[in-house]
Amino acid sequence: MIASPAAVASYWHNLAACYPALRWPLRPSSEDIRFMKAEVAKWVAAHSESEPNVLLLGVTPEIADMQLPAASSLTAVDSSMAMARAVWPGNIPGKRQVSCGNWLALPLQESACGVVIGDGSMNCLPYPDGYLQLAAEVCRVLSTDGIFILRCYIQPAVQERPDDVFADIFREPIPSFHHFKFRILMAMQRSPRVGIAVDEVYRNWADRNIDTRPLTSRAGWEQSAIDTIELYRDSATVHTFPTLAEYRSVLDDFFDEISQFKVPCNLGERCPILVLKPRHHHNA
């Protein structure tokens, strides 16, 4: 079941309050940003005759703050003004602005953008229908030779078992609570079509009554990070995690994949950045 709009709005409103406590892989790394910046610069250099518009799906501050080529401007679209107020680095007239809107009905004309960037954007949607709708809408607003830079959260080909992820808390060093939370979300998902309700993850965590003191002392986890699990409590929000093959089965209907980038670190293989170009017949 996918959450109602009101429930989703409440989740993102609460997320805004604890966003500063989040870290990679739930936020892009400096390596991710360098790659995105280089891809945008490369595209702009190849289209020097235009003044390219960059669309950001959401208000990820690391991407909003990314230094863009002088001729370009960035517009961010997010459905949560609470998120925008909490993390948006500020509008710059003629260079950077944010607006409230629905990604599946973007407030932009056809072929309005040369570059679209998304950070885990599709994983907030139902699979596969929401993915298909967003892919079609991105194609609509992209120019025929534009690019879609998408950081994906992907389920590994061999899915982990939830009990194994919990056991790893004490069996091997997991770098942070964010790494753990990322893994347990994927491990508890029954299928990408069903997704995983975040409240179900909270209940599993709470029912185990884990003493977090050794985790902050021995594993070095930050208590503020562990506390972010409370965001999941009683939330109807559902996330979806297809495998890369399942992702591509949707994207291939609309895009050709140009390149892929993975951060060379723990869980980097689960957060690839895909660079995609639209198939022309979808922009006709």
Q: Three-state SS string across 176-203, please?
A: CHHHHHHHHHHHHCCCCCCCEEHHHHHH
Give residue-wise pLDDT tens across range 139-158: 999 999 999 999 999 999 99
| pLDDT tens string 225-249 | 899 999 999 998 999 999 999 999 9
| Banded pLDDT at 171 (limits 50, 70, 90) | confident
Q: Give the model confidence (pLDDT) of 114-124 as tens digits.
A: 999 999 999 99
For residues 235 and 198, the answer to whether their CB atoms sit within 8 Å is: yes
Specify the amino acid at residue 149. I
85 and 198 share one domain: no
pLDDT at 281 over 60: no
Once rounded to an integer, what is the mean pLDDT over residues 12-23? 68
- Per-residue pLDDT at 267 exceeds 50: yes
Residues 278 and 167 in one domain: no
Question: Could you tell me the CATH number of the domain that includes residue 27?
Answer: 3.40.50.150
Identify the pLDDT of residue 14: 64
- Domain shared by 45 and 122, yes or no: yes
Q: Which whole-number Å values give the CA distances from 69 to 51, 88, 242, 261, 266, in the listed order?
A: 10, 20, 34, 21, 31
Per-residue pLDDT tens digits for 33-69: 999 999 999 999 998 767 789 999 999 999 999 999 8
Say which residue, 84 or 111, is predicted with more confidence.
111
Q: Specify the pLDDT at position 99.
A: 93
If pLDDT is split at 50, 70 and 90, which confidence band does 7 have?
very low
**Total structural domains in the chain?**
2
Contact 169, 180 (CB under 8 A): yes
Do 125 and 40 share a structural domain? yes
Check whether residue 138 and residue 42 sit in a common domain.
yes
Confidence grade of residue 216 (pLDDT, cut at 50, 70, 90): confident
What is the model's pLDDT at position 280? Answer: 66
Structural domain span for residue 201: 162-239
Judgement on whether residues 168 and 143 belong to the same structural domain of the protein: no
Whether 9 maps to a domain, the answer reads no
Q: 93 pLDDT band (50/70/90 cuts)?
A: very high
Model's pTM, two decimal places?
A: 0.92
pLDDT range class, residue 5, cuts 50, 70, 90: very low
Question: How many Cβ atoms are within 10 Å of 161's Cβ, its own excluded?
Answer: 10
Q: What percent of the chain has pLDDT over 90?
A: 71
Q: Are residues 209 and 256 in the same domain?
A: no
Within-domain flag for 120: yes
Question: Does residue 272 carry a pLDDT above 60?
Answer: yes
